[in-house]
Structure 1
Amino acid sequence: MAKKTYTVMVVSDHHSPVKRYQIQKSFLVQVGVGVLLLAGMGLGGTMHYFRVAQDAAENRILREENLTLRGQLKSVRERIEHIGSTLDRVERFDQKLRAITLLSDPQRNLAMGPTETEPGTTAPTTDTQFTQLATSETPNALMGRLDRLSAEATRQEQSLQELQAYFQDQKSLLASTPSLWPARGWVTSDFGSRLDPYTADRVMHAGLDIAAPHGKEVFAPSDGTVVFAGLEGGYGNVLVIDHGYGIKTRYGHLAKMLVKAGDKVKRGSLIAAVGNTGRSTGPHLHYEVRVNGIPQNPRKFILEE
């Protein structure tokens, strides 16, 4: 069977003869297939180029983000180290404060770790607790450390709240401690056993007798509430102030009382005047300090000279 052919005639503009070329159909098909293959390869190469270019751009962005994340991760590690070191210092300071203030006393039911290491053991260091961070540490490991730091911070917060409550209580106790002389004069009879000026018998004197001119000011030695103001047998005119914490003070033989039951007084407040009422041999102030009802030597509370 004869192969199909195509005739191509080339006509020149000049008087040259017409040229004829016969091309087989199979050749044209091969040429067409070749052109299509080349076009496909060109298109594929172009697409591959753009894909590679896009991947390169994305890789560059990823590298930059990776560098940024590494920097942020380093910053997080440094912050964890700093927080861990701070918490360790706070814990050591907390233990010292508790040792000083005896907050580790079991009767207070407050939890506290030992301030000193037991024989044969070593105290944990900052590195072993929080700040020993490997450069290859994973985000999950960092999150675990952050969780432990958060738990430690919560525990320290509770501990410091206990200390705050203790110091607030101590502040209130100091404000309630009768630390001032209630009147200016001279002590004619001290706390303890003495001869009764009326009977000459040896008896217990439960306070201080402070001699002073009639009408001399009497001041509250600390904050408190007046719980009694009136006559009481041999004490004459008497004031009793409750300072809290089981502490009460008593002022006898007063000429006049400037406060009444229920009044709040502050340290240094004017409350009465020295007198000679009741069983008294002369103008003076009888001053007592009682703790839970038991007479105490007032001198051990007075901080003034």
Structure 2
Amino acid sequence: MLNRLAYRFHQSLERHFPEQRLFLKSDTETRFIRLRPATQIIALVGGTLALAWTIVATALIMMDSIGAGSAREQSARQQALYEERLNALSSDRDLRADEAARAQERFNIALTQVSEMQERLLASEDRRRELETGIEAIQDTLRSTIKDRDAARDEAERVTLALNSQSGVATEMGHAQDTLATLEFLTGALGDAAEERNEVLAEADEAREEVRLISDAKEAMEMRNDAIFTKLEEALTVSVEPLDKMFREAGMSPDDLIGAVREGYSGQGGPLTPISFSTSGAAPSPEELRANAILSGLDKMNMYRIAAFQLPFAMPVHDAIRYTSGFGNRNDPFNGSSRRHEGQDMAGAYGTPIFATADGTVTYAGWENGYGRLIKIKHDFGIETRYGHLSGIRVEVGQRVSRGDRIGDMGNSGRSTGTHLHYEIRLSGTAINPMTFIKAAKNVF
């Protein structure tokens, strides 16, 4: 039975795959190899599988190549975007620095103009007082002249009455001559008094006109001063508000920060010292109060500038990076357990330069478990920054560094799964979120 089934199966295969013979001929003999239907089927199936595997492998390789090319293009585009953003931030920071410098120059020029106008105002005030004193003296003289005139009139009347009462002592001719002489004297005195009075009145009118002109000039100068002070106050507000917002967003009290800076920079004098033109202890004028308020605002902005360079308001990496693990709780990449991450990880190329984010002193530069190669920098106001997993260290303990100084190279040392920088900021020994300072600085720098 089995033989019969095998024979029928063999017959059906031969209809589609007839038996083939492969002849091999040599010099002495001829041989052949018989290719049965089953052998042909096995060879066909093997060739088909080999061809299918070749097609699938080629497709996988092409897809992987296309995917790798797309990833490289995407990475290049992302890097270009980061570079464009960094260039824009750098341009904006330079523009704001230029605006602050120009505002300082404009304020210095305006302050000089205010001082000159104040001197002219004081001079015009003195002139006005002198004119008022002169007018008072002229009025006193005029009143004295009028009194003398009235006295002369009274004397003339008294003499006339005396002459009339002396009948028989003088002749009629002598009486007439005395009366005429007296009238001439009185007329001349009255004419001189009237002329002097007219001159005094004319001088008084001129003095009043000059006082009016001086008053108008003073009012115009006060209006110009008010416009100048208003512009300076607006410029100061625009310059100080972003700095104030930056420190508040970083979690620091601006008042406490300025107080701490003043303790370290307590020297007296300079262009920002409050001004005072009075030496008699009188109350300051409104112009002095506004000028001193502007000077106080500029002093505050200067304190902000000093504090900004003492605090880590900068990026530790200037090249293109990718933010990976952030601040807070996360799953440990080695054992999967929940663990607090006390910094911000920034992934980049191996050997990428690392820079100090603020002025300070290096307190540690070496190997530490977990961090690998680590640098610690102590800053003012109880701030410390840490830079971990470095491939190289370029500073020494005790070295003083400034913002922007290169201190090391990005690496993969210590407890790390890949090349990156572990960046920490600590306030009084407690770790705080570094992105708070980085995001706050983007509003100004």
TM (norm. structure 1) is 0.58
Look up the SS of the partner of 2:177 in the other structure.
helix
Mapped pair 1:171 → 2:313: no
For residues 149-164 of structure 1, the aligned pairs below 5 Å read 150-164=284-298
Cα deviation per residue 1:167-186 (whole Å; 9 max; x = unaligned)?
Answer: 33433444433332426444
For residues 206-245 of structure 1, the aligned pairs below 5 Å read 206-220=342-356, 222-234=357-369, 235-245=371-381
1:219 to 1:99, Cα distance in 2 relative to 1, 3 A:
closer
Cα deviation per residue 1:41-94 (whole Å; 9 max; x = unaligned)?
Answer: 323322322222222222222222223223434544565677678879999999
Question: Which amino acid counterpart does residue 302 of structure 1 have in structure 2?
Answer: I
Residue in structure 1 matched with residue 212 of structure 2 by the alignment: 70
Cα deviation per residue 1:12-43 (whole Å; 9 max; x = unaligned)?
Answer: xxxxxxxxxxxxxx899543443343233323
Q: Is the contact made by 2:363 and 2:378 (CA closer than 8 Å) also made in structure 1?
A: no
Q: Is the contact made by 1:225 and 1:262 (CA closer than 8 Å) also made in structure 2?
A: no
Q: Is the contact made by 1:229 and 1:237 (CA closer than 8 Å) also made in structure 2?
A: no
1:210 to 1:44, Cα distance in 2 relative to 1, 3 A:
closer
Mapped pair 1:41 → 2:183: yes
1:170 to 1:200, Cα distance in 2 relative to 1, 3 A:
same
1:171 to 1:205, Cα distance in 2 relative to 1, 3 A:
same
For residues 1-305 of structure 1, the aligned pairs below 5 Å read 29-76=171-218, 150-175=284-309, 176-182=311-317, 184=319, 185-220=321-356, 222-234=357-369, 235-303=371-439
Q: 1:286 offset after TM fit, Å?
A: 2.0
Counterpart CA distance in 2 for 1:231 and 1:180 is: 22
Look up the SS of the partner of 1:302 in the other structure.
helix
RMSD of Structure 2 on Structure 1 (CA)? 4.3
Counterpart CA distance in 1 for 2:424 and 2:342 is: 6
More helix by share: 2
Which ranges of structure 1 fall in alignment gaps of 5 or more residues?
Answer: 1-25, 110-146
Q: 1:250 offset after TM fit, Å?
A: 0.4
1:57 to 1:188, Cα distance in 2 relative to 1, 3 A:
closer
Whichever of the two has the greater Rg, that structure is 2
Counterpart CA distance in 2 for 1:286 and 1:280 is: 9
Counterpart CA distance in 1 for 2:406 and 2:208 is: 75
Q: Is the contact made by 1:209 and 1:287 (CA closer than 8 Å) also made in structure 2?
A: yes
1:189 to 1:61, Cα distance in 2 relative to 1, 3 A:
closer
Q: 1:240 offset after TM fit, Å?
A: 1.7
Counterpart CA distance in 2 for 1:217 and 1:96 is: 35
Q: Could you tell me the percent identity over the aligned residues? A: 24
1:173 to 1:42, Cα distance in 2 relative to 1, 3 A:
same
Q: 1:218 offset after TM fit, Å?
A: 0.9
Counterpart CA distance in 1 for 2:223 and 2:347 is: 66
Q: 1:281 offset after TM fit, Å?
A: 4.8
More strand by share: 1
Cα deviation per residue 1:74-127 (whole Å; 9 max; x = unaligned)?
Answer: 54456567767887999999999999959xxxx959xxxxxxxxxxxxxxxxxx
Q: 1:282 offset after TM fit, Å?
A: 4.9
1:41 to 1:171, Cα distance in 2 relative to 1, 3 A:
same
Which ranges of structure 2 fall in alignment gaps of 5 or more residues?
Answer: 1-167, 246-253, 257-281
Question: Which amino acid counterpart does residue 228 of structure 1 have in structure 2?
Answer: T
Q: Is the contact made by 2:365 and 2:397 (CA closer than 8 Å) also made in structure 1?
A: no
Question: Which amino acid counterpart does residue 225 of structure 1 have in structure 2?
Answer: G
Question: Which amino acid counterpart does residue 304 of structure 2 have in structure 1?
Answer: Q
Counterpart CA distance in 2 for 1:79 and 1:231 is: 66
Look up the SS of the partner of 2:438 in the other structure.
coil
